[in-house]
């Protein structure tokens, strides 16, 4: 452990604003968050940066399509990214936007340094350009598609400022040699070394064909090439030209997907060398999460969204799955089925079950206080040894970014304690003094293993381990626990257990997958009609906002009475009402409509308590085709007024008594 707090600065890529986060982006940010928590627990002062990459032709196009100025478009998108990260508990220490003034100044300053040092010149460039990846495609001919995204390239000629990348072939190769850990994993390192050995062409770093970018001072209409702009965000987030004051630069770790490794390990260090600034210590490129063996993309319609998963299973389940399922660095397939299987086996049956059964037995036998262990038997010592030994292994695995192995090691201890409980059978012991003492030893031992596992798993499962920590009666902050001080035997007998809380309730796989998929459908198609007048469209997606705005200005079409009479509305009476797990806006109701009792879902859960609705008379549209909401069948719609800007639902009703089943005309 470092003596005085050593600093650790890590970054995620800054994400493009022409879409919203899917599971791929979430993966990188989750990993960064895990490392951030892990390093803090090892005594480092950690800063983690994420942000949004807001310039370029794609944004120009998207803003135009949305009918708003670029600045407004990116502000909305940056907000949406930031709030989703907050919602997922992935709040970085710095969120940098490339439209921030501090960032703009840093980019201009970096350019000035490179130019003053003789590494920038003016020239012309003609080439095939991929507007989707914002990059000229080396060696492509007109008509060629982009090798990365497969879409057509465009021929572009422009006056540019060039960066003398060719001058950095040797310095880069020397740097890689001197710093063998700079590029990780090893396979990527070899790939980059051979790329650089193959020769480097100078790189155009300004554009005149793009308007929406950071201006090159005194050289308008030149704006900076998006990658010169974007990479600099890592530096502007921690002080820019004044980076020395903050003391965080150089970065200790840039986490990136394998798609952008070249930018980070060739261009970025070359820019910094040219400016004579310190170089980052490491770039780690992880693999992709694939869907049906192809890369996820909105255009392919195969994106997996984080929110529905989190609504159904909780954020820790998603974090666990992302890190446990795939060897960090390699590609992996995403499947809901595997996600839910892991959730049930490792979290509900594994950690969750160990915590609840241990606590329940201590509650029952020792009045909720951690018992004092008595004489040890060899099997107790074997378990103690195993738990003690796993500390070193787990720390080493985390350090090497072998997250799946770290979790495997932790879960092996969970399996051992489960086995230990099965053989020792503390529940079968009686009330004799000897039995009581044995029970105390077994339960203390199990609780101690649980405590150690909880500490070790905290970086990956922050929310649920906090709960187990409190359950074990610990009052200190688990996030501030020093991993290097973790030892067997620290669980103090006599500590009162905290309140038991639900950790990972088991779910039915088919139902869970169906619900996640249906929530994802709703989020991806926000323009679908709302299930009840009361269900607002998902907030914070600019597309939803724009659609709503467009709808509100369009004049309503008039219909004839024959159209109106197609809608059958009847008086209904609510019989039962309950919340739906994983759907915080929906209530599941059963409603008597005279001829039958119907199950109907209504998006009113945030405004009506289920109990207050029982017996209430409501207006029901009875001839709507049934549909599934969050996996629950809804056979009809409850009518409500939508009040105020947030669309608060107010149920339609009657002042006089009306008969159930009466038709509204
Ligand atoms: N704006 C650039 C990065 C500039 S950094 C100075 C960019 N943005 S991006 O929005 O396209 O995000 C790319 C990153 O998202 C990848 O490098 C990776 O970290 C993550 N992922 C996007 N899709 C992914 C998967 N399907 N799987 C795993 N990670 C993926 O590139």
Q: Is residue 221's pLDDT more than 80? A: yes
Ligand 1 atom closest to Cα of 230?
6
**Contact yes or no for 334/555 (Cβ under 8 A):** no
15: helix, coil or strand? Answer: strand
> Each residue of 597-632: b (16+ CB within 10 Å) or e?
ebebbbbbbebbebeebeeebbbbbbebeeeebbbb
From 14, 23, 28, 331, mutation site for ligand 1 pocket: most ligand atoms within 8 A of C-beta:
28
From 14, 25, 103, mutation site for ligand 1 pocket: most ligand atoms within 8 A of C-beta:
25
Please give the pLDDT value at position 162: 96
Any idea what DSSP says for residue 168?
G
What digits encode the pLDDT tens for the residues 489-539?
A: 999 999 999 988 889 999 999 999 999 988 988 888 765 444 444 333 333
What digits encode the pLDDT tens for the residues 67-104?
A: 999 999 999 999 999 999 999 999 899 999 999 999 99
Q: How far is the CA of 19 from the centre of ligand 1 (A)?
A: 11
Alpha carbon distance 33, 31 (integer Å): 5
- Stretch (H or E) spanning 577: strand 569-580
Nearest protein Cα to ligand 1, atom 16: 257
Task: State the chain's mean pLDDT as an integer.
Answer: 90
Q: How far is the CA of 202 from the centre of ligand 1 (A)?
A: 25
**Both tokens assigned to 555:** 């004049």
Ligand 1 atom closest to Cα of 264?
6
What digits encode the pLDDT tens for the residues 254-294?
A: 999 999 999 999 999 999 999 999 999 999 999 999 887 77
CA angle 307, 308, 314 (to 5 degrees): 75
CA 186 from chain centre, in angstroms, equals: 26
Q: How far is the CA of 27 from the centre of ligand 1 (A)?
A: 10
Least confident span in 351-360, 450-459, 625-634: 625-634
Q: Is residue 370's pLDDT more than 90? A: yes
CA 556 from chain centre, in angstroms, equals: 40
- Residues of the chain with pLDDT > 70, as a percent, come to 93
Alpha carbon distance 136, 156 (integer Å): 9
Nearest protein Cα to ligand 1, atom 8: 15
| Residue 626 or residue 518, greater confidence | 518
Nearest protein Cα to ligand 1, atom 22: 24
What digits encode the pLDDT tens for the residues 562-594?
A: 778 888 999 999 999 998 877 778 899 999 999
**Contact yes or no for 651/618 (Cβ under 8 A):** yes
Alpha carbon distance 222, 265 (integer Å): 26
> Each residue of 530-567: b (16+ CB within 10 Å) or e?
bbbbbbbbbebbbbbbbeeeeeeeeeeeeeeeeeeeee
- Residues of the chain with pLDDT > 90, as a percent, come to 74
Cis peptide before 611 (omega within 30 of 0): no
Ligand 1 atom closest to Cα of 234?
6
Q: How far is the CA of 132 from the centre of ligand 1 (A)?
A: 13
| Residue 431 or residue 626, greater confidence | 431
Q: How far is the CA of 286 from the centre of ligand 1 (A)?
A: 10
Any idea what DSSP says for residue 324?
H
| Residue 467 or residue 553, greater confidence | 467
Q: Which residues line ligand 1 (CB under 6 A)?
A: 13-16, 24-25, 27-28, 53, 230-231, 233, 256-257, 259-260, 288-289, 295-296
Ligand 1 atom closest to Cα of 259?
17
Q: How far is the CA of 260 from the centre of ligand 1 (A)?
A: 7
pLDDT band at 126 (very low <50, low <70, confident <90, very high): confident
Is the Cα torsion angle 448, 449, 454, 457 positive or negative in sign? positive
| Residue 156 or residue 338, greater confidence | 338
Please give the pLDDT value at position 19: 84
Other CB atoms within 10 Å distance of the CB of residue 280? 23
Least confident span in 488-492, 508-512, 541-545, 647-651: 541-545
Q: Is residue 157's pLDDT more than 90? A: no
Nearest protein Cα to ligand 1, atom 5: 13
What are residue 368's phi and psi, to 5 degrees?
75, 15
- Report the half-sphere exposure of 54 (CA within 13 A, side-chain side): 27
Contacts for 165 with CB less than 8 Å, ≥ 6 apart? 200, 201, 202, 203, 266, 267, 270
Please give the pLDDT value at position 655: 85
Please give the pLDDT value at position 286: 96
Nearest protein Cα to ligand 1, atom 19: 257
């Amino acid at each position: 452990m470092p003596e005085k707090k050593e600093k650790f600065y890590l970054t995620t890529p800054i994400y493009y604003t022409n879409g919203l986060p899917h599971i791929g982006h979430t993966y990188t940010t989750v990993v960064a968050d895990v490392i951030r928590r892990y390093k803090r627990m090892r005594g480092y002062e950690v800063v983690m940066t994420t942000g949004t990459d807001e310039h370029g032709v794609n944004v120009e196009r998207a803003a135009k399509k949305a009918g708003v100025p670029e600045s407004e478009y990116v502000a909305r998108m940056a907000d949406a990214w930031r709030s989703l990260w907050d919602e997922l508990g992935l709040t970085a220490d710095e969120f940098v936007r490339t439209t921030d003034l501090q960032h703009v100044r840093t980019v201009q300053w970096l350019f000035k340094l490179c130019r003053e040092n003789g590494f920038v010149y003016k020239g012309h460039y003609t080439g095939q350009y991929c507007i989707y990846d914002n990059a000229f495609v080396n060696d492509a001919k007109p008509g060629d598609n982009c090798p990365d995204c497969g879409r057509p390239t465009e021929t572009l000629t422009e006056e540019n400022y060039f960066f003398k990348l060719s001058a950095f072939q040797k310095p880069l190769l020397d740097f890689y040699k001197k710093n063998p850990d700079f590029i990780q994993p090893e396979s990527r390192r070899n790939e980059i070394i051979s790329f650089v050995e193959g020769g480097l062409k100078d790189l155009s770093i300004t554009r005149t064909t793009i308007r929406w970018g950071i201006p090159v001072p005194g050289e308008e209409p030149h704006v900076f090439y998006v990658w010169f702009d974007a990479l600099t965000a890592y530096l502007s987030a921690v002080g820019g030209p004044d980076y020395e004051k903050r003391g965080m630069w150089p970065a200790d770790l840039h986490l990136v997907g394998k798609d952008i490794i070249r930018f980070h390990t060739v261009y970025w260090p070359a820019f910094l060398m040219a400016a004579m600034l310190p170089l980052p210590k490491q770039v780690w490129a992880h693999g992709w999460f694939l869907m049906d063996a192809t890369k996820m993309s909105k255009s392919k319609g195969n994106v997996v969204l984080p929110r529905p998963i989190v609504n159904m299973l909780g954020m820790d389940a998603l974090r666990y799955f992302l890190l446990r399922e795939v060897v960090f660095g390699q590609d992996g397939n995403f499947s809901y089925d595997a996600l839910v299987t892991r959730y049930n086996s490792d979290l509900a049956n594994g950690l969750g079950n160990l915590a609840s059964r241990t606590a329940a037995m201590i509650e029952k036998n020792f009045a909720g206080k951690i018992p004092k262990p008595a004489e040890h038997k060899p099997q107790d010592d074997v378990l103690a040894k195993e738990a003690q030994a796993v500390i070193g292994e787990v720390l080493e695995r985390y350090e090497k970014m072998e997250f799946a192995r770290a979790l495997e090691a932790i879960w092996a201890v969970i399996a051992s304690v489960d086995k230990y409980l099965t053989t020792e059978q503390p529940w079968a012991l009686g009330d004799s003094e000897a039995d009581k003492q044995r029970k105390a030893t077994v339960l203390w031992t199990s609780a101690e293993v649980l405590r150690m596992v909880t500490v070790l798993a905290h970086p990956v499962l922050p929310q649920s381990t906090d709960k187990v920590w409190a359950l074990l009666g610990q009052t200190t902050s688990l996030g501030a626990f020093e991993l290097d001080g973790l030892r067997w035997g620290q669980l103090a007998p006599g500590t009162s257990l905290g309140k038991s809380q639900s950790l990972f309730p088991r779910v039915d796989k088919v139902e869970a997958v169906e619900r996640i998929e249906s929530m994802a459908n709703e989020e991806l198609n926000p323009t679908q009609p709302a299930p009840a007048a009361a269900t607002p469209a998902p907030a914070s997606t600019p597309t939803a906002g724009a659609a709503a705005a467009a709808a509100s200005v369009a004049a309503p079409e008039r219909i004839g009475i024959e159209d109106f009479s197609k809608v059958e509305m009847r008086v209904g009476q609510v019989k039962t009402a309950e919340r739906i797990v994983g759907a915080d806006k929906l209530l599941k109701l059963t409603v008597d409509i005279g001829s039958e009792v119907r199950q109907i879902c209504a998006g009113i859960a945030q405004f009506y308590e289920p109990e207050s609705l029982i017996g209430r008379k409501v207006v029901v549209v009875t001839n709507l085709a049934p549909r599934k909401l969050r996996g629950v069948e809804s056979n009809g719609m409850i009518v409500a007024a939508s009040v105020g800007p947030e669309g608060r639902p107010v149920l339609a009703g009657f002042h006089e008594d009306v008969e159930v089943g009466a038709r509204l005309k």
